[in-house]
A and B are shown apart, each in its own frame.
Chain A
Amino acid sequence: MPNIIVCVKHSYDVQQLRYDKTSRKFLLAEAPKKMSDMDRRAVEEALRIKEKHGGKVIALTVGNQDSIDTIRQAYAMGVDEGYAVIDKDFESYDTNNVALILAQAIRKIGNFDLVLFGSASTDGYSRQVPPKVAMYLGLPFINFVREIRLEGNYVLATSDYEDGLYTYRVKLPALIAVTLDINEPRTPTPAAILRASRKPVTQWTLKDLGVGALKKYFEVLDSYMPETPRKHVIFDASSDDKIPDAVQKLIDALRREGVI
């Protein structure tokens, strides 16, 4: 019966993210947050594995105080235990820092067979945290996974790379990062949401994990909405006889842009 730790991020809901029209900077202070989309799939997959094989599903996050909301969401979906590493400076950490903190938390939880992640977070989308956690923990790592099967002490995971599907078989414990294609996550019922708000979330600080000063390897200097200027080229195809000429001009223009 596998014990599964699922790492979840409390991400900005990018679909509701607005930006200042002049500076083009994101209005982060007012942006709603939610569990990262791929992480939700990871929770769903863990719950499906539990439904089939038994065991326990544990949700873990690192973030600001509000990241506890994401653990509550995981509880509403059906996880058994929830942990949150809370640090007010979380937004300033790079992916190495986050990976190190998560690795320490996973060690402290202990007794796990599988660690699941979403391959990328909805907001940062760096895709760097899962492989770095695997590195810190010395675990085999499979990325971009769209199918998971457990067979005894082994896990079979099918990865979707652009040139094809690859199925890997590795011995547990292992770390797997999943994509949006792996499943359709469940939507919690009212009763499950109400139960979730009564469940305890274990909160740790960096000190609890024995994590000292964190060295930053890189820093995000700026993030803004890029401008996408349009050329507004119009080809006249207003009558049948003009269509062949318009089509030819369209093809020429697309060639000039290098898109065909």
Chain B
Amino acid sequence: MSTPIFYPKDTLVSFTKDEIMFRESVREFAQKYIAPKWIEIDEEASKDPMKIPLDLIKKVADQGLLCIPCSDKYGGQGGTYTMATIAIEELAYADPAVALAVYTLLNNGWPFALQLFGKEEVAQEIIPHVSKGEAFFGIASTEPQGGSDVANIRMTAKKSGNVYVFNGEKAYISGVGEVQVLPWGGGWFLIARTGEAGHRGLSAFAFLAKKNGVIRKGWYPTVYHDIGRHGLTTGGFKCENFELEQEYLIGEENKGFYYVMEGFNLARILVAAATVGGARWLLEQAAQWFKTRKLFGRYIASFQGISFKFAELYAKYEAARYFVYRAARLADKIYIEKDPAYNPKDLNVPVALAKMYGPELAAELGQEVMKWYGAYAYTKESPIHRAWLGLFSYTIGAEGAQNIMRYIIARDLLGSEYVRD
């Protein structure tokens, strides 16, 4: 049980009437169908990662929460990036271990990137299935040797006639289990080497490991056991002479690095939104505790060691939320409204601020709430550790490591010549 906080009135992060109605709608949906189940999902999938909540994925799809910014001609909602951000924040508030929020954010950000950079017929083939919850479409960039060093990706895609032949390995990829069990299948916005060393030799593909219910030859998946955020699988896969038709090349050959960087910017906004939604849940858990727990005959928040820390973390929460919605509004200017005064690079710093700040705030807050609750929080009966572990994963990686965010901020503010070796 959590206690809602009377949040201060705000005019800076403000919403249109449509957005307010949408937030109410998502919140009601998420509180009705997801909030009562998230603990059970997290527990069950911690024992068996393939316990994927397919029924809830379908419900999320039917509620129109996948592919929100994608065009309605691809079966998307024709909505805005701000709406997608609102949806992710509310889903994470209902499921602070963020499995469903992250499933949903991946299947908003990456289908949208496919729509922006992919071929019309490929978008038309894939996005409607993702939108209906029949297929997964995420990002496959990281490899066993690392994730942040995108320019040195080793997986190769060699053109042979009408197909590209893939060899190599991807690791720590979300959705490896989902692609296998969802009825249509799906895959990833995958980046592989088609040319010279470095970032100019990389191409992006709509890599379908499973299509029309059939897993394709040469794809060998493994599902990992994560320590948190159970209910969304992480895994890896090997490609051994995996063949993909050439039409699945996204954009131009050897330009994949640039597409994937724009895609990362879009997805990072939603990752940060998930951490803000989870942080709100944690704040309200704390408020509930402060209104009931007494020590030495006093409410524990009367000890300034606790209330001052709460105030500091609240300040960080507001800052994180501001970063998230500023980035979402900018994404709308660039990709939805196509306002010529803005271009994709304008997103770099605002997005990096949101992705740097949100996960770190959520992880710190989770850790503090654990301490405020005391020993009870260290038992499995308490749900707080589930939120903490789920949110903590986004301080490690997922659409970019924290220090990469710091690098982007410093690089764009100072100029790359001053921050490189």
Contacts and interface: CB of A to CB of B under 8 A. Distances in A.
Given A69-B17, A197-B18, A190 B6 contact: no
A189 B21 contact: no
A190 B83 contact: yes
A39 to B, nearest CB: 15
Contacts of B64: 189-192
B29 interface: yes
B72 A191 contact: yes
A246 interface: no
Interface residues of A, number: 18
- The size bracket of the interface on B is 20 to 34
B17 A197 contact: yes
Contacts of B28: 187
Nearest to A195: B78
- Greatest chain A CB density within 10 A among B9, B25, B32, B68 is at B25
Contact of A188 (B21, B32, B78): B21
B149 interface: no
Interface string A167-208: 000000000000000001001111111101100000000000
A191 B62 CA distance: 12
B254 to A, nearest CB: 36
A76 B72 contact: no
Nearest to A18: B6
B77 A76 contact: no
B48 interface: no
A194 B25 contact: no
A72 B17 CA distance: 10
Contact of B79 (A18, A30, A184, A191): A191
Contact of B77 (A30, A34, A69, A190): A190
Contacts of A197: 17-18
Contacts, number: 51
Interface in A23-41: 30, 34
Nearest to B16: A197
A196 B77 CA distance: 13
B342 interface: no
B25 A193 contact: yes
Interface string B17-53: 1100110111011001000000000000000000000
Contact of A189 (B9, B24, B77): B77
A189 B66 CA distance: 10
A239 to B, nearest CB: 21
A187 B26 contact: yes
Given A189-B64, A190-B83, A76 B78 contact: no
Interface string B62-80: 0111001000100001110
A27 to B, nearest CB: 11
B388 to A, nearest CB: 28
B24 A190 contact: no
A191 B74 CA distance: 13
A158 interface: no
A136 to B, nearest CB: 32
Contacts of B68: 190
Nearest to A76: B21
Contacts of A192: 64
A190 B83 CA distance: 8
A73 interface: yes
Interface in A57-91: 69, 72-73, 76
Given A194-B78, A194-B79, A187 B63 contact: yes
Contacts of A73: 21
- Greatest chain B CB density within 10 A among A76, A190, A197 is at A190
Given A72-B17, A187-B28, A187-B29, A193 B72 contact: no
A193 B28 CA distance: 15
Nearest to A34: B24
A100 B78 CA distance: 41
A73 B26 CA distance: 14
Contacts of A18: 6
Contacts of B6: 18
B79 A190 contact: yes
A193 B26 CA distance: 12
Contacts of A69: 17, 21
Contacts of B83: 190
Interface string B382-402: 000000000000000000000
A192 B77 CA distance: 8
Contact of A187 (B9, B17, B25, B72): B25
- Greatest chain B CB density within 10 A among A18, A69, A191, A196 is at A191
Interface of A: 18, 30, 34, 69, 72-73, 76, 184, 187-194, 196-197
13 contacts: A72-B17, A73-B21, A76-B21, A187-B25, A187-B26, A187-B29, A187-B32, A188-B22, A189-B25, A189-B65, A190-B65, A191-B79, A193-B22
Given A187-B63, A191-B78, 18 more contacts: A30-B9, A69-B17, A69-B21, A72-B17, A73-B21, A76-B21, A187-B29, A187-B32, A189-B63, A189-B77, A190-B64, A190-B68, A190-B79, A190-B87, A192-B64, A193-B22, A193-B25, A197-B17
**9 cross-chain pairs, A with B, having the tightest CB-CB distances, nearest first:** A189-B64, A190-B79, A190-B77, A187-B25, A191-B77, A187-B29, A187-B28, A188-B25, A193-B22
